[in-house]
């Protein structure tokens, strides 16, 4: 592997890179060659997970949220993500702006109208009439439950773990570093590398699902605008074009341009939201911001623990509804945990645990609240609260990606607004792929800086290939197939993130007597392998600590 890496000009951990790349390519080939068998296997796997472990996903994320609140208000809340004298690199305004940027993307564009309308037209509770006032209120609370505090708890937990262990312990930027309190120096061995490979694969497939959803929405928009068929080949073509755009941006080094384009994209998305706010019943929507917040605050506790245990006695749905919504959301979102964890840790160095948890949980959740109120309540009002449904509900029942574009038909300059929406989703696709390529590369190398362009180009092309493969595999089933794949892929990542709580508690309790981790070179020396320099041989594998005095890890340790 070392010889091959040198010939290819790579700068990465060869085992993690080549194993992750090899497994990804192998899975792609298997998916394409054995489409029917793979599709059935994922279907059976998802059904088993949803039936037997759906409760684990639902209760698990609630436990994560409670843990984060506890650690923020506990005596550990004052500890910094970094050295004790580190201070935040970004001002509060800039930091909140970046969190805001992380909270908007293809997910909110895709579900902003579709999810509230889905629950409004088909309530998950048996005693609630479709299109009723109660159904509309439940629809908004459920949508916020899925995409506000709980979703951001899934990102906050690994972000906190990354920031704590990487910056305070001077460990490489890998998922395995988080488990140092449990594994100790074994993070450098096969166990640690296995964890990192799983994290890379989970991130690739999680991103591929997001790209698949975004592609479906772009296809639906182009069908409305120019009559492009809503077909598998069209989606694959869209993925191919946007992957080429993302790959070019990586290859030519347009980091500043991509960043500016991404910021512009966010501004355009916010502009769409303001347009809807002004063009709709503005006073009604402003009132709903406060009322929906109150309803959400009232409903979050029962929703957090509801896992439909009595479904067999009250309906025929069983795990069908929560398997297709809540379990799917949590399994999908957790595959983004390594990606978002790195992003959040990098922009939050120097902040205290209390500041980090409060900011990352609250700021994006508040924006999500406003987004769903503006789009969701506008859509439900258009379809007729207390009536029998309308065009948007019909669009959702026909094809979820159509919801946003059918919604915009009710506003002035509908064609122009629909076109802008297509561009916004497409640009989010390209910039997400670009950013994810950088993060996946970092998870392989453990280095906080960008690796060679060829490495990132490889991951960019791979992400597009996986997304296209999932579209082909899903065929006309589309979203249902994506749900099956991501539920199965998400389970091992979900277990890893759950174990981060144990690692964090051990790390926090050990703050007063912190042992210096072995570097990779020291680990190799300990196992009789050759090391790069003589000076590394004289470094001790651990330092004793006085129980009342915390001694910082040396600043000169490198990956």
Q: Which domains does the chain have, with CATH numbers?
A: 26-509 (1.20.1740), 511-559 (no CATH)
Question: 331 with 57: CB under 8 angstroms?
Answer: yes
Tell me the two tokens of residue 380: 């439900």
Question: 249 with 258: CB under 8 angstroms?
Answer: yes
Place of tokens 């597009």: 464
Tell me the two tokens of residue 37: 């068998």
Instruction: Enumerate residue ranges in the chain where pLDDT < 50.
Output: 254, 257, 316-317, 530-559
Strands, E assignment, 311-453: none
Tell me the two tokens of residue 90: 């970004």
φ, ψ dihedrals at 532, nearest 5°? -75, -40
CA 321 – CA 396 distance, rounded (Å):
16
Q: Which residues contact 499 (CB under 8 A, 6 or more apart)?
A: 179, 182
Per-residue pLDDT at 443:
84
φ, ψ dihedrals at 239, nearest 5°? -60, -45
Let me know if 528 is exposed, middle or buried by CB neighbors in 10 A (0-12, 13-18, 19+): exposed
DSSP secondary structure, 462-523, as one string: HHHHHHHHHHHHHGGGTHHHHHHHHHHHHHHHHHHHHHHHHHHHHHHHTGGGPPPPPPHHHH
* Length in residues, the chain: 559
CB atoms inside a 10 Å sphere around CB 180: 23
Per-residue pLDDT at 297:
95
Q: Could you tell me the CA-to-CA distances from 78 to 82, 167, 243, 503 in Å, in that order? A: 12, 15, 43, 18
Compute the half-sphere exposure of residue 531: CA atoms within 13 Å on the CB side of its CA: 17
Per-residue pLDDT at 4:
65
Q: Which residues contact 204 (CB under 8 A, 6 or more apart)?
A: 20, 24, 440, 459, 462, 463, 466
Mean pLDDT of all residues in the chain?
A: 81
Instruction: State whether residue 80 is helix, strand or coil.
Output: strand
CB atoms inside a 10 Å sphere around CB 262: 19
Q: Could you tell me the CA-to-CA distances from 7 to 1, 54, 440 in Å, in that order? A: 10, 46, 21
453-464 burial by CB neighbour count: b if 16+ within 10 A, else e? eebbbbbbbbbb
Tell me the two tokens of residue 260: 């500016």
pTM over 0.85: no
Each residue's pLDDT tens digit, 468-497: 888 887 665 555 666 677 788 889 899 999
Question: 432 with 439: CB under 8 angstroms?
Answer: no
CA 35 – CA 33 distance, rounded (Å):
6
Place of tokens 């979900």: 494
Place of tokens 């392989």: 444
């Amino acid at each position: 592997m070392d010889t091959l890496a040198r010939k290819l000009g790579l700068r990465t951990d060869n085992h993690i890179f080549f194993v992750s790349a090899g497994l990804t390519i192998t899975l792609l080939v298997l998916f394409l060659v054995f489409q029917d068998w793979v599709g059935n296997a994922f279907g059976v796997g998802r059904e088993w997970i949803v039936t037997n472990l759906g409760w684990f996903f639902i209760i698990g994320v609630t436990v994560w949220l409670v843990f984060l609140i506890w650690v923020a208000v506990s005596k550990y809340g004052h500890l910094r993500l970094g050295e004790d004298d580190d201070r935040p690199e970004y001002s509060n305004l800039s930091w909140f702006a970046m969190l805001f940027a992380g909270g908007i993307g293809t997910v909110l564009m895709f579900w902003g109208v579709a999810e509230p309308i889905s629950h409004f037209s088909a309530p998950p509770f048996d005693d609630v009439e479709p299109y009723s006032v109660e159904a509309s209120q439940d629809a908004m609370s459920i949508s916020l439950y899925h995409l506000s505090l709980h979703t951001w708890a899934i990102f906050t937990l690994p972000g906190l773990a990354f920031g704590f262990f990487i910056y305070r312990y001077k460990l490489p930027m890998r998922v395995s570093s988080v488990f140092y309190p449990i594994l100790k120096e074994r993070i450098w061995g096969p166990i640690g590398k296995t964890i990192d490979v799983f994290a890379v694969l989970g991130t690739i497939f999680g991103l591929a699902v997001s790209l698949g959803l975004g592609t479906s929405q772009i296809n639906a928009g182009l069908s409305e605008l120019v009559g492009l068929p809503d077909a598998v080949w069209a989606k694959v073509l869209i993925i191919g074009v946007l992957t080429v755009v993302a790959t070019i941006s990586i290859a030519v080094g347009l980091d500043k341009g991509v960043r500016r384009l991404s910021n512009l994209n966010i501004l355009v998305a916010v502009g769409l939201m303001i347009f809807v706010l002004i063009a709709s019943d503005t006073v009604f929507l402003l009132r709903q911001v406060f009322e929906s917040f109150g309803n959400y605050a009232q409903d979050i506790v029962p929703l957090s623990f509801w896992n439909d245990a009595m479904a067999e006695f009250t309906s025929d749905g069983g795990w069908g509804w929560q398997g297709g919504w809540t379990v799917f959301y949590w399994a999908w979102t957790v595959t983004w945990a390594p990606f978002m964890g790195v992003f959040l840790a990098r922009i939050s160095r120097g902040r205290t645990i209390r500041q980090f948890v409060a900011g990352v949980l609250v700021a994006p959740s508040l924006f999500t609240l406003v987004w769903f109120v503006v789009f969701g309540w506008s859509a439900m009002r258009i379809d007729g609260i207390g009536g029998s449904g309308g065009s948007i509900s019909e669009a959702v029942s026909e094809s979820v990606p159509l919801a946003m574009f059918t919604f915009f038909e009710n506003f002035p300059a509908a064609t122009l607004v629909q076109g802008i929406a297509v561009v916004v989703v497409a640009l989010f696709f390209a910039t997400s792929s670009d950013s994810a390529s950088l993060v996946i590369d970092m998870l392989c190398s453990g280095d906080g800086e960008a690796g060679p362009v060829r490495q990132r180009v490889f991951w960019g092309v791979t992400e597009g290939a996986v997304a296209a493969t999932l579209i082909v595999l899903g065929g006309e089933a589309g979203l249902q197939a994506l749900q099956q794949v991501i539920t199965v892929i998400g389970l091992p990542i979900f277990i890893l993130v759950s174990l981060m709580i144990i690692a964090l508690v051990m790390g926090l309790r050990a703050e007063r007597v912190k042992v210096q981790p072995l570097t990779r070179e020291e680990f190799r020396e300990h196992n009789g392998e050759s090391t790069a320099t003589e000076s590394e041989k004289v470094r001790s594998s651990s330092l004793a600590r006085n129980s009342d005095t915390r001694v910082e890890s040396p600043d000169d340790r490198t990956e």
